[in-house]
Amino acid sequence: EPEVTQTPSHQVTQMGQEVILRCVPISNHLYFYWYRQILGQKVEFLVSFYNNEISEKSEIFDDQFSVERPDGSNFTLKIRSTKLEDSAMYFCASETGRYIANTGELFFGEGSRLTVL
Amino acid sequence: GQNIDQPTEMTATEGAIVQINCTYQTSGFNGLFWYQQHAGEAPTFLSYNVLDGLEEKGRFSSFLSRSKGYSYLLLKELQMKDSASYLCAVLTGGFKTIFGAGTRLFVKA
């Protein structure tokens, strides 16, 4: 069964360092998302991406964050200068597209746990 | 503002039925989802409602009332493996699904 894959599964970094989290969405999906979940808290929307541009972003997604789809398969989240409060599980998700039969169900990757020291 | 409320925790007995409620107030509405999340894992899709009424899918059913901003997830014949967090989520517009804090369900023998 096709799945969303994320790398790395766990990354430890020093405050102020740049981090790139990588995702390979399901191949025929058209909508891509990043969410984060701080330990013990809710899943928070960061950004959505469609047709090679950001569709919507949250207030969390400030200038320190950026997303890119550098080729036909990868979807990356970059944090330019990490802060302690960026420590969280980051989930990539993808969605097939908005056809009549499509529900908007999100398919999540297993997550990348980021620890900022 | 955007608000999705659900109980923090519930406990139920194996074999029983449990109902998890969710109320929402969002700036847009294009559908309501329930996801299951086991500890340390990613959310997985359970159900979707966009029209009022009940959707049934095996042991799981979900109900929606758009006028009341209310949904529930009903789990029947509870099994130990159903111990997890259940997340209510709303597709608020074209490209943004927001999640409630989740209800942690404990199933006891």
pLDDT digits (tens, 9 = 90+) for A70-116: 887 899 999 999 999 999 999 999 998 766 555 789 999 999 999 99
pLDDT for the residue numbered A99: 61
- Work out the average pLDDT over A7-17: 98
**Which of A106, A107, A110, A112 is the mutation pick for testing B, counting most B CBs within 10 A?**
A106
Burial of A37 (0-12, 13-18, 19+ CB in 10 A): buried
- Are residues B95 and A55, on separate chains, in Cβ contact within 8 Å? yes
- Are residues A91 and B42, on separate chains, in Cβ contact within 8 Å? yes
pLDDT for the residue numbered A101: 55
Q: How many Å apart are CA B94 and CA A56, to the nearest integer?
A: 9
Give how far Cα A97 sits from Cα of A103, B63, B89, Å: 9, 24, 18
Q: How many Å apart are CA B3 and CA A79, to the nearest integer?
A: 27
pLDDT for the residue numbered A116: 98
Q: How many Å apart are CA A87 and CA B94, to the nearest integer?
A: 28
Closest residue, chain A, to B104 (C-alpha): A40
**Which of B95, B96, B104 is the mutation pick for testing A, counting most A CBs within 10 A?**
B95
Neighbouring-strand partners of residue A3 = none
B49: its two tokens: 């409602």
- Are residues A107 and B45, on separate chains, in Cβ contact within 8 Å? yes
Share of chain A above pLDDT 90, in %: 80
* Nearest chain B CA: its distance from A74 CA (Å): 19
- Work out the average pLDDT over A26-38: 94
Q: How many Å apart are CA A111 and CA B22, to the nearest integer?
A: 26
- Are residues B31 and A108, on separate chains, in Cβ contact within 8 Å? no
Q: How many Å apart are CA A41 and CA A111, to the nearest integer?
A: 15
B93 band by pLDDT with thresholds 50, 70 and 90: confident
- DSSP letter at B52 equals S
Mean pLDDT (chain A) is 93
Q: What is the 3-state secondary structure (H, E, C) of B75-108?
A: ECCCCHHHCEEEEEEEECCCCCEEECCCEEEEEE
pLDDT for the residue numbered A57: 94
